[in-house]
């Protein structure tokens, strides 16, 4: 009888050890998955997470109360977005210093990463998730829209080709902090010679969505 009790006890110990091992494996897998989500993307190319920031940003601009805040444009008012086909080749240091002074919640890591990602220009690809349709425009196409060097003809030619568009949108690379829950992007839009503006926009990630936290106007025309 006692022998059976020992056997039963041994079996229970083995089962408990097995269940404990399974639980640890599940915990480790969960921790690994979370760690993967928090890995900062490489600088060498525009990552999927950067396209997520662009997409969420444009969607969020529709919800901004324009009576309280200025924005480059309201996406839902247009049928087409025209976007420069590359990011800027540099960002002025003075602009970053200004942004740092005007955004008290920005993480120094975010600024450092933004600076590193915007040393040279990078081509943009059709990987946005916008609800609105969009096209890319190149420097060569913009140069061709100038009619025999007549500057004033540019926007007439542009809107003949892209009616019901918002103008020309430029997007920088996106800088992140190490936790990947804060992002900084520079955005600018020009719709006529004396109608344009540019902003640095700080976003935070809430429940998987990038949400606007702060905006700083850096230029206007």
Residue 103 sits in the same domain as residue 52: yes
Task: Say how many domains are in the chain.
Answer: 2
> Domain check: are 29 and 82 in the same one?
no
How many CB atoms neighbour CB 161 within 10 A? Answer: 14
Angle at 101 between CA 121 and CA 213, to 5 degrees: 75
What pLDDT is attached to residue 152?
Answer: 76
Q: 27 with 52, same domain? A: no
Q: Does residue 97 share a domain with residue 27?
A: no
Token digits of residue 55: 């997409």
Same domain, 69 and 133: yes
Are 171 and 162 a contacting pair, CB within 8 Å? no
Q: What are phi and psi of 170, to 5 degrees?
A: -120, 140
User: Is the same domain home to 61 and 103?
Assistant: yes
Q: What is the pLDDT of residue 37?
A: 58
Q: Are residues 129 and 23 in the same domain?
A: no
Tokens of residue 50, six digits: 């950067």
On whether both 8 and 111 belong to a single domain, the answer is no
Q: Which residues of 165-192 are buried (b: 16+ CB within 10 A; e: fewer)?
A: bbbbbbbbbbbbbeeeebbbbbbbbbbe
In whole angstroms, what separates CA 68 from the centre of its chain? 23
Q: Are residues 55 and 3 in the same domain?
A: no
Distance between CA 44 and CA 65 in Å, rounded?
36
What is the DSSP secondary-structure string of 139-161?
HHHHHHTSBTTBGGGHHHHHHHH
Residues 5 and 90 in one domain: no
Provide the residue-wise pLDDT of the chain in tens; the chain has 221 residues: 555 544 554 545 545 444 445 444 444 433 333 434 558 899 999 999 999 999 999 999 988 877 667 788 899 999 999 999 999 988 887 789 999 999 999 999 999 999 999 999 999 999 999 999 999 999 999 999 987 666 678 999 999 999 999 999 999 999 999 999 999 999 999 999 999 999 999 999 999 999 999 999 999 99
**C-alpha triplet 186, 188, 190: angle, nearest 5°:** 175
Same domain for 91 and 198 = yes
Nearest CA among 70, 67, 55 for reference residue 197: 70
Distance from C-alpha of 50 to C-alpha of 36, rounded to nearest angstrom: 16
Co-location of 53 and 9 in the same domain: no
Q: List the domain range (segments joined by +) for residue 59.
A: 41-220
């Amino acid at each position: 009888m006692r022998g059976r009790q020992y056997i039963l006890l041994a079996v229970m110990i083995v089962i408990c050890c097995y269940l404990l091992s399974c639980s640890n494996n599940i915990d480790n897998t969960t921790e690994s998955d979370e760690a993967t989500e928090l890995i900062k993307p490489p600088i060498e190319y525009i990552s999927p997470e950067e396209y997520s920031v662009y997409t969420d940003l444009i969607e969020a601009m529709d919800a901004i109360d324009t009576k309280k805040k200025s924005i480059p444009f309201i996406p839902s008012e247009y049928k087409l977005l025209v976007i420069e086909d590359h990011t800027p080749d540099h960002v002025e240091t003075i602009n970053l210093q200004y942004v740092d002074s005007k955004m008290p919640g920005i993480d120094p890591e975010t600024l450092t990463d933004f600076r590193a990602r915007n040393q040279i220009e990078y081509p943009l690809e059709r990987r946005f998730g916008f609800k609105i349709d969009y096209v890319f425009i190149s420097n060569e196409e913009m140069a061709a829209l100038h009619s025999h060097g007549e500057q004033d003809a540019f926007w007439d030619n542009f809107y003949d080709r892209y009616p019901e568009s918002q103008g020309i949108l430029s997007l920088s690379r996106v800088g992140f902090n190490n936790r990947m829950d804060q992002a900084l992007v520079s955005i600018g839009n020009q719709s006529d010679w004396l109608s344009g503006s540019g902003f640095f926009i700080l976003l935070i990630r809430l429940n998987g969505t990038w949400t606007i936290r702060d905006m700083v106007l850096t230029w206007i025309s």
